Amino acid sequence: MKNLFYFVLAVLFIQLANTTSTQAQACRPDTRMVETPPVGKKKCNTIPGDYFNRSICNVAPFRTYDPLKNEIFVPAGKTMSCFSIVSSVGTPVWKIVDSATGITIYTSGAPLGGLSFSGGRSGKLFKMEMDAGASTSGASVTLGYIIF
């Protein structure tokens, strides 16, 4: 009877985790669609906002997108902050680039805690890019952040 109780408890936990998870998405053709909307609400330094994930992977390109690159858009008047690594597989070597200037503003291995970007008056686009040659085959990283 005790084992049955633990089994039922484990099944319920797995179902709950699958329905409320903010964990990384596997790189597959529909990853971009799954990651487009916010995956939930969280607070960033006591300020409520929308929580997003963005993944990049060192795998062969899909017909729908190149998994080595992803974009992050900060809407006008909003701030993006409270970054975290949600998931990392293998050894991903990656960076975040300001699309307008081409300047690298973050490289993997550096602390994420102090990163904060403003959307300004018209919104701002950033790109995540993985170095396929420096990363291990199959490496991936999912970045979590809050826009408020």
| DSSP per residue, the chain | -HHHHHHHHHHHHHHHHHHH--PPPP-STTHHHHHSS--EEEEETTEEEEEEEEEEESSPPPSS--TTEEEEEE-TT-EEEEEEEEEEES---EEEEETTT--EEEETTS--TT-EEE-TTT-EEEEEEE-TTTSPTT-EEEEEEEE-
Least confident window among 5-19, 73-87, 123-137: 5-19
pLDDT of the residue at 25: 56
Q: Any idea where the domains of the chain sit in the sequence?
A: 24-147
Instruction: Tell me the average pLDDT of the chain.
Output: 83
Instruction: Please say whether the structural domain 24-147 has been given the CATH code 2.60.120.
Output: yes
Q: Tell me the pLDDT tens digit for each residue of 7-44.
A: 434 433 333 333 334 444 567 777 777 788 899 999 99
pTM here?
A: 0.78
